[in-house]
Amino acid sequence: MIELFESVPNFSEGRRDDVIADLAALAAPAHLLDVDADPDHNRVVITLAGSAGDLSEALLGAILVARKRIDLRAHHGVHPRIGAADVVPIVPLGDASLDRAREVAHELGEQVWTELRVPVYFYGHGEGRTLADIRAGRVPLSLGGPALHPTAGAVSIGARPPLVAFNVILYDTDLVAARALARSIRESGAGLRGVQALAFPLSGERVQLSMNLFRVDVTSPADVIAELERRGVAMGAEQVVGLCPAAAATAAASGRLLEGRLAAAAARPAARQVRLRGREEHNALADRLQKEADGLYRLAADQDEMLAGAERAAAIVRVLAAAGVTDEEVDTILLVAARGLRKAITPATAAVYKARVDALDARLG
């Protein structure tokens, strides 16, 4: 199978729809999974997946758009930033490794500097530096400099495992208290392991606790909510920014499951390939695949739905093989999605649906 990667580039634009559309349009070589813009943060998070080459091509094009259309001198938003294309993580999926993701990040960074002349910070796996180090000015540029680009700043590129960007609205809490809460809950403040946290003022006199959960196997969104409840924090709406791995999902991630979007992204081009065969039975199969894609895209963070989603993603691989439609990337994405959804199935659910889970496990090898 091919190596598959995800990237979740953060761009410093969350208000101008035309710029956001232009950034997303450059995803074409890769698979566009999600676009999540926030006007208070003045930031858009775009989720892409694909092979190393396709992903790098898409990212380079989007970073060029950001360089041309976003001027940090005129930028205002509550989220800290150093670049028009601010953060570009490379995340390994399936059998791809963090070391290989780091290689992809370095190859992309070299292109960004040599072709676009935007300075680059490398961060994350293998770099010995974090985004916090970069934003605090504690480390030098990795490529370019010493000055930042006058309008585009610099881009931080690095390899990391999957994380969940998770926000909670706080009630009856002013910004000073919210910032104290953020300091106490983050890992660096002896709080929850694998949690980074900031507090932001939003429009409408709201206060938001904004978190990155970078060790979701240790601390999930549910763990964060449990800790806030234990502390007696009054909470409002929960929000997942971008997409969430199914294994870490709470109800707030319904319709925003990474694996559901991956499976949908694979099923749609598969439907187009099948339809090109032109016969009536192929058109019927293409319609079925499109319907499956629509359902997988909206997959809920519910045990029954995630099990059914895993079964459907795995079944599409077999259906395509039977139809004589072979595409290694499509098959890889579907299997990565199915395995991720299977990982989210709890032992209790597996016991209830033992025959189905055993059949799924046999299909996934």
Kindly state the tokens that stand for 117.
Answer: 């002349």
Confidence check: pLDDT of 78 > 90 = yes
Give me the residue label for tokens 């566009």: 32
Q: Active site includes 41?
A: no
At residue 14, the pLDDT reads: 97
With the C-alpha atoms ordered 289, 292, 296, 297, is the resulting torsion angle positive or negative?
Answer: positive
By the 8 A CB rule, do 113 and 107 touch? Answer: no
Alpha helices in 117-154 (DSSP H): 131-135
Residue 37 pairs in a beta bridge with 44
Alpha-carbon distance 78 to 186, whole Å?
19
Peptide bond into 146 cis (omega under 30): yes
Confidence (pLDDT) at 1: 72
CA–CA separation, 284 and 279 (whole Å) = 9
The one catalytic residue in 79, 125, 149, 282 is 79
pLDDT 10s digits, 17-72: 999 999 999 988 999 999 999 999 999 999 999 999 999 999 999 999 999 999 99
| Per-residue pLDDT, 28 | 85
User: 3-state class of 252 per DSSP?
Assistant: helix
> What per-residue confidence (pLDDT) applies to 278?
79
Q: pLDDT grade, residue 164 (50/70/90)? A: very high
Q: What is the mean pLDDT of residues 251-264?
A: 97
Neighbour count for residue 190 (Cβ, 10 Å): 10
Model pTM? Answer: 0.95
